[in-house]
Amino acid sequence: MAVGLTAPRSGRSIIGFDTKMITVRGRSSSVVLQHHRRRGMMMTMALARGNSSSSNQQHHHELSPPRNKNECVQLSSNKKATPPPALNSSNALTTFEQVLYGGVAFTAASVLKREFSPGCELIDGKQIAQEIRQEIKEKVERMKTIANGNTPGLAVVLVGERKDSQSYVRSKKKMCAEVGIRSEGTDLPEDATEEEVLKVVRAYNADPNIHGILVQLPMPKHINEERVLKEVSYEKDVDGFHPLNIGALSQRGREEPRFVPCTPRGCIELLKRSNVEMKGKKAVVVGRSNVVGTPAALLLQRNDATVTVVHSRTKNPEEAIREADIVIAACGVTEYVQGSWLKPGAAVIDVGINAKDDATKKLGYRLVGDCDFESCKKVAGKMTPVPGGVGPMTIAILLQNTLEGAARSYGVSEQLGLKN
């Protein structure tokens, strides 16, 4: 790429600033850097010119930022610049300095094409979920010795013959067996009445050996799912969706929820175990569903983050996302969040799981998230993949909730180091 510099135009005053214009030209695009100087402070604004945004990105990507302040090069003179000492006493350049410190050769690239993360760390949900299951297994063994041989019990209610639901139920039962949790199940036919389903739920509510009840969704259309879910005792509501549990989650300094929804809790656990600081950080949750978005926002607040929720009616959502240190994407829109929307170094938790057509795959599609993985991984500091990120955590937290319910029932929460 050939880059040429125009000579600076004569300085002129704009609202008290001395202004110079410098143009950086590529083959089919150019960038105008507008420098404002006032009282020793320089600010650079970049204005793109060219045939298309794609051509701009192609050329600007070749403008590489210097590694530190000693490598800063002034556009006008091609000489090493003396960095302003007031901005940063260290030799490393901050993102703030890269945009604010006018006259350096990489400013156009930094403003028009956001900086790549020096290295995105993938958050391995499979590995973290395995660690959690191992911890649960050890606590279940400990529970046997201090609770007269008792172990946690999980009951699953399945209505109908949906293949995907049957697969989910088998997977949950298999995971229960791995960690030593007893699992029971009641399978009802597609035409089961609502009263028949409620009767099964009430029986499990009354069973002292069952500490968690899971109603597999979706249910047949003739059954009122809301009524069935409300029938589950909030003390056995391992999904965490009972109004009493969600209500308790939304309040601070009062009674704690018995259970927290599995997927949102899994997202927070991923952040904690990946050493992502939440206290005082800006977080954006993309999506406001009752299942993930809303409880995820509440959990982030409980961890002292400053939270913004972006939803389908939000204007300019990318502006909010660009400010976020933490992004939880749970909107159900294929590859919605773009890398250019992210703050460099942000932690990104991608909850979405969507099928995208791909002729190279045996099934004709591949699974992707609510974030454009290829562009986001170039900017994010830490990010979950899809699949292999949030998905494995959901079942792990379901098992954790069941363990905690049993520990409360047997009065051994403190001995097992669990919340009461």
Which one of the listed residues 113, 172, 377, 382 is annotated catalytic? 172
CB under 8 Å, gap of 24 or more: what pairs does 62-69 form?
62/1, 63/3, 63/24, 63/105, 63/106, 63/108, 63/109, 64/106, 64/109, 65/93, 65/98, 65/106, 65/109, 65/110, 65/115, 66/93, 66/104, 66/105, 66/106, 68/92, 68/93, 69/93
What is the Cα–Cα distance from 307 to 293, expressed in whole angstroms? Answer: 11
> Residue 4 pairs with which residues in a beta bridge?
25
Which one of the listed residues 124, 237, 239, 372 is annotated catalytic? 239
Which one of the listed residues 113, 216, 236, 281 is annotated catalytic? 216
The two three-digit tokens of residue 232, written as one number: 């589950």
What is the Cα–Cα distance from 14 to 312, expressed in whole angstroms? Answer: 39
Of 58, 122, 52, 182, whose CA–CA distance to 378 is shortest? 122
What is the Cα–Cα distance from 255 to 313, expressed in whole angstroms? Answer: 33
What is the Cα–Cα distance from 405 to 397, expressed in whole angstroms? Answer: 12
| CB-based contacts of 4, cutoff 8 Å, min separation 6 | 24, 25
Q: How far apart are the first and last CA of the chain?
A: 64
What is the Cα–Cα distance from 120 to 383, expressed in whole angstroms? Answer: 7
At residue 43, the 3 state secondary structure works out as strand
Contact 341, 377 (CB under 8 A): no
- Asked if 370 is an active-site residue, the reply is no
- Asked if 216 is an active-site residue, the reply is yes
- Asked if 350 is an active-site residue, the reply is no
Which residues are tagged catalytic? Answer: 172, 216, 239
